[in-house]
Amino acid sequence: MKRTPLDKNNNSDFFEHSFLKSSLSPDDLSTQELLERQCRYDRTIKRTGDIVFSLLVILVGAPFFILIGLLVKLSSPGPVFYLQERLGRNYMFFGCIKFRTMHPEADSLLENLLAREPSLKAEFEKDFKLRDDPRITPIGRFLRVSSLDELPQFFNVLQGHMSIVGPRPIVLQEVQRYGPYMKEVASVRPGITGLWQVSGRNNLTYRRRVMLDLFYVRKRSFIMDLRIFLRTFGVLLFPRDRGAY
């Protein structure tokens, strides 16, 4: 998918900040200044580590990738992979790659369901998720709970669209919820894992997710990345508190 920039000047809600009321205030910095502030770690060491580890995962895990792909294909008709447009660094859109976890007719299923059930529509509009989502296949539910559906994102890392550790990659509809903090969050690559993923995921309020992303962007370091990376393994092994669905 071709990367395209977000025209933030045409988004009237872009700098609406009523959603965010906290002690953290937005820095009066341009996007260019934020990029210039990035340290050598971001530009070289972190990127090198991302590439090396992603290559290792893809090469060593190739048989596992093939097995998951076969299970996805056998579970329902449709493609093995699913690409969703997400917002990356510098407001550039990219195709976030995942193993497909939904039925091919997922969009029409969702549209009909939300039209019939106002309560589900409210739930979906809150976090863009449904706890009991009928669109998800049985194998897809397992892949989501185990986070195995996100393995193909290592290809996004190799392409330079994502990092292993970073803020959560968001869809266009979520931009307004970041208010004036969006330009800081968009100054770094989104990550496969990050603070919100190891701090409760869907059990968190959306405001808390935004604050965690902002905290990471402002305080990121090798030590923080290492702690998040190691904590991710614990979350994957003991998922009871992570709230994935």
Task: Give the confidence band of 127 by pLDDT, cuts at 50, 70, 90.
Answer: low
Confidence at 21, pLDDT banded by 50, 70, 90: very low
Residue 125 lies in a domain: no
- 115 within domain boundaries: no
**86 inside domain:** yes
- Whether residue 116 lies inside any domain: the answer is no
For position 197, what pLDDT does the model report?
A: 86
Of the candidates 144, 172, 148, the one whose C-alpha atom is nearest the C-alpha of residue 85 is 172
The Cβ of residue 39 has, within 10 Å, a number of other Cβ atoms equal to 12
pLDDT in tens, 85-112: 999 999 999 999 999 998 887 777 777 7
**pTM for this prediction:** 0.77
Mean pLDDT of 104-122: 73
Q: What confidence tens digit (pLDDT) does each residue in 38-58 have? A: 566 667 889 999 999 999 999
Supply the range of the domain harboring residue 188: 4-9+31-101+136-239
Q: Is the pLDDT of residue 190 over 80?
A: yes
Q: Print burial letters for 8-32: b (CB count within 10 Å at least 16), e (below 16).
A: eeeeeebeeeeebeeeeeeeeeeee
Contact 95, 85 (CB under 8 A): yes
- Whole-number average pLDDT of the chain: 81
Q: Does residue 158 lie within any of the structural domains?
A: yes
Pairing of strands 92-99, 81-87: antiparallel
Q: pLDDT grade, residue 10 (50/70/90)?
A: very low
How does pLDDT run across 129-184, given as a tens digit for each residue?
767 777 888 899 899 888 999 999 999 999 999 999 999 999 998 999 899 999 99
Going from the C-alpha of 45 to that of each of 42, 206, 225, 230, the distances in angstroms are 7, 31, 12, 18
The reply to whether 163 falls in a domain is yes
Q: What is the pLDDT of residues 222-242, one digit of tens each?
A: 899 999 999 998 888 876 545
- Let me know if residue 208 belongs to a domain: yes
Question: Distance (Å, rounded) from C-alpha 38 to C-alpha 113?
Answer: 45
Please check whether residue 220 lies inside any domain of the structure: yes
Alpha helices, DSSP H, located in the chain: 31-37, 40, 46-60, 62-75, 106-116, 118-127, 138-146, 153-159, 182-185, 206-219, 222-237
Place of tokens 């959306």: 206
Q: Number of structural domains, the chain? A: 1
DSSP letters spanning 144-185: HHHTGGGTTHHHHHHHTS-EEESSPPB-GGGGGGGGGGHHHH
Stated as kind and residue range, the H or E segment containing 81 is: strand 81-87
The predicted pLDDT at position 210 comes to: 92
Please check the confidence at residue 23 and state whether its pLDDT lies above 50: no
